[in-house]
């Protein structure tokens, strides 16, 4: 598919959202296990979805904050390969965090902690801006034209003076002259 042609494929969009959401929570789980798992006696879903665990007053709370920020960094990298379009990064990162907000509301009620809101606002900004930057870098990469050949063969048609007979001549041209 060319980038200029817009194709409405809702199943692709839903699949991308589900994959990005799953990868986000998988990465969050890995970081929470590494940073918080050795500080608490038992890991549970409250570190994922309860706003009370996001606090700047304890070392465990700072580890939870770091886990969420590292997950947003990883989410930006995931968007580079899953979404691959810079103009869609804000939409997909907002979808990830809005879905996370709904799950948090269902799990533990409306988040009343200012730390939770600042963390998730920072997370969405990091994921959207870094994802757009990485996708833009990928979009602007130079496309190699002569990948396997160092020379280019050109076929030239030379017409004779009477206009009825044709001669074909193959010429070898150095590709460095065209760069």
Buried b (16+ CB within 10 A) or exposed e, 73-89: bbbbebbbebbebbebb
- Distance CA(134)–CA(19), nearest Å, equals 19
Confidence of residue 1 (pLDDT cuts 50, 70, 90): very low
Range 65-89 average pLDDT: 95
pLDDT tens sequence across 121-170: 999 999 999 999 999 999 898 877 765 655 544 444 444 455 544 454 55
φ/ψ (deg, to 5) at 173: -120, 135
Q: What percent of the chain has pLDDT over 90?
A: 70
What pLDDT, on the 0 to 100 scale, is given for residue 149?
Answer: 54
- Using one digit for the tens of pLDDT, what is the confidence trace for 9-36? 899 999 999 999 999 999 999 999 999 9
Q: What is the pLDDT of residue 110?
A: 95
Q: Kindly tell me if the per-residue pLDDT of 172 is higher than 70.
A: no
C-alpha distances (whole Å) from 16 to each of 7, 58, 93, 107, 138 are 15, 36, 11, 24, 18
User: What single DSSP character describes residue 162?
Assistant: T
Domain boundaries, the chain: 10-145
Q: What pLDDT, on the 0 to 100 scale, is given for residue 145?
A: 76
Look at residue 179 in the predicted model and tell me its pLDDT: 46
pLDDT bracket for residue 103 (50, 70, 90): very high
Q: Where does the chain have alpha helices with state H? A: 10-35, 46-49, 59-82, 89-108, 114-139
pTM as predicted: 0.76
Antiparallel, parallel or unpaired: β 151-159 and 166-174: antiparallel
């Amino acid at each position: 598919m060319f980038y200029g042609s817009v194709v409405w494929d809702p199943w692709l969009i839903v699949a991308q959202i589900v994959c990005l959401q799953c990868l986000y929570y998988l990465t969050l789980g890995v970081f929470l296990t590494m940073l918080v798992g050795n500080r608490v006696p038992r890991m549970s879903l409250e570190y994922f979805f309860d706003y009370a665990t996001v606090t700047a007053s304890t070392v465990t709370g700072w580890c939870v904050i770091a886990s969420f920020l590292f997950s947003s960094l990883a989410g930006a990298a995931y968007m580079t390969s899953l979404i691959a379009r810079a103009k869609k990064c804000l939409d997909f990162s907002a979808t990830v965090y809005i879905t996370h907000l709904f799950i948090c509301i269902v799990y533990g009620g409306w988040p009343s902690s200012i730390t939770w809101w600042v963390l998730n606002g920072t997370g969405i900004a990091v994921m959207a801006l870094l994802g757009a930057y990485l996708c833009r870098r990928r979009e602007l990469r130079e496309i190699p034209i002569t990948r396997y050949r160092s020379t280019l063969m050109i076929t030239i048609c030379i017409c004779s003076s009477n206009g009825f007979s044709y001669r074909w001549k193959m010429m070898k041209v150095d590709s460095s002259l065209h760069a």
